[in-house]
């Protein structure tokens, strides 16, 4: 199951649950452990007003039944939003809703609906603390279908109305911005912000992304209307996300996507526990414990970038993708001062696009088009509802996509055990570490001992000299 690394503690005598590190000192016989906040809430406990567990972001460990892990991830990614039901979620996983609820009861401690409600309520509570959005705006930004739904969830989870919760917010919580909306993205430290930002800077897609010395910036769209997001470091425990969006409905989904870019939900503690003693990876992890596998805002964008980057340098791939965006992307006026000019093309834009003259080989151009069509037809899904092997099989069934491309895309999507063994950068790093030239087969053999954290191993090897 997906558990918080150190879980939550609920106190029977007070009916309150706390996050690790809370200053409360109840008698141990009155304490009940819970793996996640939703389970504590499902058991009737409310969040502590002192440690405010809804503001923290416990790391998620990938262990136990994989089906449950994927189901939980789907819920956290919005799989029960916009009117979707537990039956819809179960169908995506290929099981019955009854079996899904039974698995959640055993491994999560809450139903899928209860987990989704907790997620939305916690996000709404943070908006009430940090922003001046109205209660109505908070409701729709948090994925609720109405203010009434927000009121009901607020009373169930926090025992107070949204207006009462806003009245309780602390002065230091409110974030003021010169423009747009600013939110905190909490994570479990450490996070090697500078090195990871450098990774994105070296691969930024001109016009779509811009990475300065301290900020990651990119274009996005909501219902076809363009917007901009910016990420920069806040403290050692949170990033600052600034959003310039045409409207706030469904904001929770944009925030979740932003978290994935720097892989803020990664359980680095579990990685260190398993791999710190490895003779090859141990010294790298000790030197840079805050490195995480780089994530992605848009899986399709990453897929196209990976195909273009097959057997060419990073600089060459950057040039070709910039040309592709200029020809097939949607132009956005007025953002030139931010280094942004376009939205990345959608699958429909590339399925039958003319890609001649961009610097792509004929085979690469066909692969981009085939990939776009496979995504449009639903043959490739990025929701992580399938296993890593099933996802890789779906990708490699597309002409021009091999195991390296499949595992690189999977790694950027957050698959913790993805490992692009044929990657030349990994070969160079492993060759330096072992003292002899390493082949793809040898890389695969070495990586067997790093399961189920091979993506973290790849990140450490790629960025060892950063």
Establish if 208 belongs to a structural domain: yes
Stretch 43-68: mean pLDDT, rounded?
A: 81
Q: Is 88 among the domain residues?
A: yes
How far apart, in Å, are the Cα atoms of 62 and each of 1, 65, 115, 453? 7, 9, 17, 9
Residues 146, 82 share a domain: no
- Give the list of residues 6+ apart from residue 7 with CB closer than 8 angstroms, or none: 20, 33, 34, 35, 36, 58
Query: What percent of the chain has pLDDT above 70?
Result: 96
User: Residue 129: pLDDT above 80?
Assistant: yes
Q: Cβ distance 12 to 32 under 8 Å?
A: yes
| Residue 86 sits in the same domain as residue 231 | no
- Tens-digit pLDDT profile for residues 73-100: 999 999 999 899 999 999 999 999 999 9
**pTM across the whole model:** 0.93
Given 357, 387, 417, which residue is the final one in a domain? 387
Residues 308 and 217 in one domain: yes
Distance CA 8, CA 25 (A): 14
| Residue where a domain stops, chosen among 76, 97, 113 | 113
End-to-end CA distance of the chain: 34
Asked, for residue 448, whether it belongs to a domain, the answer is: no
Give the domain range for residue 352.
181-269+294-387
Q: What is the pLDDT of residue 178?
A: 65
465 located within any domain = no
Judge whether 445 lies within some domain. Answer: no
The answer to whether residues 244 and 121 belong to one domain is no
Q: Where are the beta strands (DSSP E) in 39-160?
A: 46-47, 60-62
Which of 77, 93, 113 finishes a domain?
Answer: 113
Residue 89 tokens, joined: 């979620």
Query: CA-CA distance, 210 to 218, in Å (whole number)?
Result: 6
Whole-number Å distance between alpha carbons of 352 and 416? 33
Do residues 66 and 196 share a domain?
Answer: no
pLDDT-derived band at 58, boundaries 50, 70, 90 = low
Which pLDDT band, with edges at 50, 70 and 90, does 302 fall under? very high
pLDDT surpassing 70 at residue 326 = yes
Catalytic entry in 3, 77, 267, 423: 423
One domain, residues 186 and 147: no
Q: Are residues 31 and 163 in the same domain?
A: no
Residue 427 lies in a domain: no
> Is 60 in the same domain as 138?
no
Domain count, the chain: 3
pLDDT single digits (tens) 385-402: 999 999 999 999 999 999
Residue 329 lies in a domain: yes
Can 423 be counted among the known catalytic residues? yes
DSSP SS3 for 244:
strand
Whole-number pLDDT of residue 268: 84
Q: In terms of domains, do 332 and 233 share one?
A: yes
Give the whole-number percent of the chain exceeding pLDDT 90.
85
Instruction: Kindly state whether residues 71 and 124 are assigned to the same domain.
Output: no
The contacts of residue 98 (CB under 8 Å, 6+ apart) are none
Which of these is catalytic: 3, 18, 77, 130? Answer: 18
The pLDDT value recorded for residue 5 is: 38
Question: Do the domain assignments include residue 175?
Answer: no
pLDDT, mean of residues 143-166: 96
Structure tokens at 227: 């917007």
pLDDT at 466: 66
Average confidence (pLDDT) over 205-227: 95
Which ranges constitute the DSSP H helices of 234-387? 251-261, 268-275, 282-287, 299-308, 314-328, 347-350, 362-376
Residue 7's pLDDT band, with cuts at 50, 70 and 90, is confident
Over residues 324-339, the mean pLDDT reads 96
Active site residue 130: no
CATH for 149: 1.10.10.60
The pLDDT, as a whole number, for residue 39 is 93
> What is the pLDDT of the chain when averaged over all its residues?
93
**Model pLDDT, residue 60:** 59
Whether residues 241 and 299 share a domain: the answer is yes
Residue 22: which CATH number?
3.40.10.10
Pick the residue with more confidence: 269 or 314? 314
* Same domain membership, residue 259 and residue 219: yes
Q: What CATH number does residue 329 fall under?
A: 3.30.310.20
């Amino acid at each position: 199951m997906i558990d918080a690394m150190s879980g939550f503690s609920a106190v029977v005598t007070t009916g309150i649950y706390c996050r690790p590190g809370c200053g409360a000192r109840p008698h141990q016989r009155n304490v009940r452990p819970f793996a996640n906040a939703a389970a504590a809430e499902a058991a009737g406990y409310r969040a502590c007003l002192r440690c405010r567990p809804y503001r923290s972001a416990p790391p998620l460990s990938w262990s136990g039944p994989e089906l449950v892990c994927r189901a939980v991830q789907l819920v956290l990614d919005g799989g029960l939003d916009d009117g979707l039901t537990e039956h819809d979620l179960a169908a995506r996983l290929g099981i019955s809703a009854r079996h899904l609820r039974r698995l959640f009861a055993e491994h999560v401690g809450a139903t899928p609906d209860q987990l989704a409600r907790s997620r939305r309520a916690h996000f709404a509570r943070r908006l009430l603390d940090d922003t001046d959005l109205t209660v109505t705006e908070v409701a729709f930004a948090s994925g609720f279908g109405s203010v009434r739904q927000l009121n009901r969830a607020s009373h169930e989870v926090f025992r107070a109305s949204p207006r009462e919760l806003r009245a309780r917010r602390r002065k230091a919580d409110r974030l003021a911005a010169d423009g747009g909306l600013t939110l905190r993205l909490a994570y479990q430290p450490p996070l090697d912000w500078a090195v990871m930002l450098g990774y994105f800077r070296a691969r930024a897609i001109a016009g779509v992304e811009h990475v300065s010395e301290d900020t990651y910036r990119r274009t996005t769209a909501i219902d076809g209307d363009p917007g901009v997001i910016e990420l920069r470091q806040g403290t050692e425990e949170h990033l600052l996300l600034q959003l310039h969006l045409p409207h706030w409905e469904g904001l929770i989904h944009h925030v979740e996507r932003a978290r994935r870019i720097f892989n803020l939900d990664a359980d680095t503690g579990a990685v260190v526990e398993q791999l710190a003693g490895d003779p090859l990876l141990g010294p790298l992890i000790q030197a840079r414990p805050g490195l995480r596998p780089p994530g992605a805002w848009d899986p399709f964008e990453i897929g196209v970038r990976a195909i273009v980057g097959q057997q060419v340098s990073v600089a060459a791939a950057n040039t070709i993708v910039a040309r592709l965006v200029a020809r097939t992307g949607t132009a956005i006026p007025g953002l030139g001062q931010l280094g942004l000019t376009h939205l990345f093309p959608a699958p429909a834009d590339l399925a039958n696009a003319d890609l001649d003259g961009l610097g792509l080989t004929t085979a690469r151009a066909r692969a981009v088009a085939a990939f776009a069509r496979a995504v449009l037809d639903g043959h490739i899904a990025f929701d992580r509802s399938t296993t890593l092997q099933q996802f890789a099989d779906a990708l490699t069934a597309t002409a021009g996509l091999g195991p390296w491309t499949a595992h690189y895309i999977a790694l950027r999507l957050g698959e913790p055990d993805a490992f692009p063994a044929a990657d030349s950068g990994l070969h160079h790093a492993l060759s330096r570490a072992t003292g002899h030239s390493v082949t793809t087969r040898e890389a695969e053999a070495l990586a067997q001992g790093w399961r189920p954290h091979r993506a973290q191993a790849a990140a450490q090897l790629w960025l060892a000299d950063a």
